[in-house]
A and B are shown apart, each in its own frame.
Chain A
């Protein structure tokens, strides 16, 4: 009798083998004729300007932080939304209160100018 975990193992092995085989094959078979244009950074067909190692505007990180909070807080909304039909009226109101608190946070960030793209 096969152990059910065999499939997981098999899946892992095959899953690793296929990409490795593809990379090795292309390394072996592909012709190599580099020139400066081929080596340049690919930017959707536009010509590259400057170095690819640039400092990002610190403004981005505030977006990231705000996103981080709101993204994770929605974890409470999924079970709430799924069980909405079975919930008593009060639990529905509680969910709405939770959303209102999130909105309060969002409007705070908005008013503080954190959502402005500089």
Chain B
């Protein structure tokens, strides 16, 4: 053990220690002053963010190469910390309004976040499994956080059952990979494959099982059935956090494991992944059209977005386009995180107790009564569709370019067509807000308004100057392991 070991894992450790301490400190905070816990959690996130920023551009491995610190993990750590900050900002007022202001909320969220960050840094299959569970188990709890509301309890149980089912697949896939290569460390797996000592068929089964397991986590069709129910039943603040964070972490692990460890399997896996991507884009967008509940609609939309991200992943075995695919996937993750948080923020603003205010028709008349919120929501809907002047458009352009360069023109065409299709349901929200009359009731909360405004601003501004962000994402490379 050296100091370098700890240095590589410093952001995750800072956050974990902070969460443990916060859990205990919260016990002594009076219930009237619960807001203090949220503020302390934000301080923890900011401290961790400072640590992460100080690690920018560094590359190191620690704990016998179980943990890596590279451009990729640093980029994702910062993105995930941003997710955490936004998650707390939207939860702060919402939890109070819904009567679920329990102090455990924030420490549990920090634990989940630590799991996500560990996932981005893990380079050993044991670490990946532990990170997966560390991010999932707190999310099961958070999904059921509004107990005794039956919808929330139900969402929690469903998420729990399907989540642990998918963990079972990941675990069995890891076991098969171990059996095929005799190693659990990614460098060891790479070496075994290079030596030709690996059992190819066993390895393929392992990789496929890992793909299925993570397919559940990132809500890719046909493993998406839990998503709408869980997203609808969970408290909306949790849904927003889960949609952005769990997806980014799931893709982080997929990218690292497949790009670094399994590039030789791409001949067999690429067809499977491209079918998954196409299916996910089509199913998500088509079913979303029929939804009348905004949470369900956004849930199907998040499935569709997972399909777009999978598209970047198809060409992972082709070294020529690998770098640009990873960069465009990361860029799209940022775009999706910012946009979806904004959209969920508007949903939170309109939601009332007992699950009222969640129908798309409840948005009628927003344009007149709340021009600011309506304008922001319009930006988010345009961005999710992929229309200018938004980040979603730029993200999709990068993704489609990566797919075309990798030779997956059919997939890119499916992507464009389904994006056009998605305009139908996204713009329906906009039409409802501006063309129909109604009297919506909105909760104004400082932090919520701030989040919505800031994410809308970012969505537009970053779309004008995307080059810097994309250049940063392009430098977010995997460390070369010996």
Q: Which residues of A contact B24 (CB under 8 A)?
A: 104, 107-108
Is the beta-carbon distance between B27 and A108 smaller than 8 angstroms?
Answer: yes
Q: Is A66 an interface residue (CB 8 A)?
A: no
Residue total for A at the interface (Cβ-Cβ under 8 A): 9
Is the beta-carbon distance between A90 and B27 smaller than 8 angstroms?
Answer: no
Interface string of A76-118 (1 = CB under 8 A from B): 0000000000001011000000000100100110011000000
Alpha-carbon distance A90/B1, docked complex (angstroms):
7
Chain B: minimal CB distance from A20 (Å): 37
Is the beta-carbon distance between A112 and B27 smaller than 8 angstroms?
Answer: yes
Residue ID in chain A nearest B24 by CB atoms: A104
Query: Which of A88, A91, A101, A111 is in CB contact (< 8 Å) with B27?
Result: A111
Alpha-carbon distance A101/B20, docked complex (angstroms):
8
Q: Which residues of A contact B1 (CB under 8 A)?
A: 88, 90-91
Residue ID in chain A nearest B20 by CB atoms: A104
Is the beta-carbon distance between B23 and A104 smaller than 8 angstroms?
Answer: yes
Residue ID in chain A nearest B23 by CB atoms: A108
Alpha-carbon distance A111/B103, docked complex (angstroms):
13
Chain A: minimal CB distance from B298 (Å): 34
Alpha-carbon distance A64/B295, docked complex (angstroms):
36
Q: Which residues of B contact A108 (CB under 8 A)?
A: 23-24, 27
Alpha-carbon distance A102/B354, docked complex (angstroms):
38
Chain B: minimal CB distance from A84 (Å): 16
Alpha-carbon distance A88/B23, docked complex (angstroms):
31
Q: Which residues of A contact B20 (CB under 8 A)?
A: 101, 104
Q: Which residues of B contact A107 (CB under 8 A)?
A: 24
Chain B: minimal CB distance from A80 (Å): 15
Residue ID in chain B nearest A93 by CB atoms: B1
Chain B: minimal CB distance from A99 (Å): 13
Chain A: minimal CB distance from B103 (Å): 10
Residue ID in chain A nearest B2 by CB atoms: A90
Chain B: minimal CB distance from A96 (Å): 14
Alpha-carbon distance A91/B1, docked complex (angstroms):
9
Which one of A91, A107, A108, A111 has the highest number of Cβ atoms from chain B below 10 Å of its Cβ? A108
Residue ID in chain B nearest A101 by CB atoms: B20
Alpha-carbon distance A4/B266, docked complex (angstroms):
47
A-contacting residues, B12-29, CB 8 Å: 20, 23-24, 27
Residue ID in chain A nearest B1 by CB atoms: A90
Residue ID in chain B nearest A97 by CB atoms: B17
Alpha-carbon distance A90/B20, docked complex (angstroms):
21
Q: Which residues of B contact A104 (CB under 8 A)?
A: 20, 23-24
Residue ID in chain B nearest A100 by CB atoms: B20
Q: Which residues of A contact B27 (CB under 8 A)?
A: 108, 111-112
A-contacting residues, B372-413, CB 8 Å: none
Alpha-carbon distance A112/B27, docked complex (angstroms):
8
Alpha-carbon distance A90/B27, docked complex (angstroms):
31
Alpha-carbon distance A108/B27, docked complex (angstroms):
7
Q: Which residues of A contact B23 (CB under 8 A)?
A: 104, 108
Chain B: minimal CB distance from A13 (Å): 34
Residue ID in chain A nearest B28 by CB atoms: A111
Residue ID in chain A nearest B26 by CB atoms: A108
Chain A: minimal CB distance from B376 (Å): 39
Chain A: minimal CB distance from B259 (Å): 32
Alpha-carbon distance A104/B22, docked complex (angstroms):
11
B-contacting residues, A27-84, CB 8 Å: none
Alpha-carbon distance A108/B24, docked complex (angstroms):
6
Residue ID in chain B nearest A94 by CB atoms: B1
Alpha-carbon distance A101/B23, docked complex (angstroms):
11
Residue ID in chain B nearest A88 by CB atoms: B1
Q: Which residues of B contact A88 (CB under 8 A)?
A: 1
Residue ID in chain B nearest A111 by CB atoms: B27
Chain B: minimal CB distance from A100 (Å): 9
Alpha-carbon distance A108/B21, docked complex (angstroms):
11
Q: Which residues of B contact A111 (CB under 8 A)?
A: 27
Chain B: minimal CB distance from A111 (Å): 4
Q: Which residues of B contact A91 (CB under 8 A)?
A: 1
Alpha-carbon distance A23/B23, docked complex (angstroms):
55
Chain A: minimal CB distance from B451 (Å): 30
With A90-B1, A104-B24 given, name 11 new contacts (CB 8 A).
Answer: A88-B1, A91-B1, A101-B20, A104-B20, A104-B23, A107-B24, A108-B23, A108-B24, A108-B27, A111-B27, A112-B27
* 13 A-B contacts (beta carbon < 8 Å): A88-B1, A90-B1, A91-B1, A101-B20, A104-B20, A104-B23, A104-B24, A107-B24, A108-B23, A108-B24, A108-B27, A111-B27, A112-B27
Q: What 8 A-B pairs come out closest when comparing CB atoms?
A: A111-B27, A90-B1, A104-B20, A108-B23, A104-B24, A108-B24, A101-B20, A107-B24
